[in-house]
Amino acid sequence: MIVLSERIKRWYEGKGEEMARTLARLISVPALSPDYGGDGELEKAEVLTGILEDMGLPRPRRYDAPDGRAKGGVRPNLVVELPGSDPALAILTHLDVVPPGDLSAWETDPFKPVIREGRLFGRGSEDNGQGLVASLFAAKAAAELGADRRIILYFVSDEERGSGYGLRFLLKEHPEIFPGDAHYLVPDAGNRRGDLVEVAEKGVLWFRVRVRGRQVHASVPHKGVNALRILARVLDSVDRELHSRFPERDELFRPPTSTFEPTVSSSSSDAPNIVPGEAEAIFDCRLLPGLGGEEVLEAAREAARGLLPEGASLEVEEVNYIPAAPKTPPDSPVVVSLLRALRELRGIEGRVAGIGGSTFASFLRAEGMHAVVWSTIDEMAHQPNEYCVIENLVADSMVMAHMAMQS
- Active site residues per annotation: 96, 159
| Contact predicate 276/226, CB 8 Å | yes
Residue 298 to residue 294: CA distance in whole angstroms: 6
The amino acid present at 201, given as its one-letter code, is: E
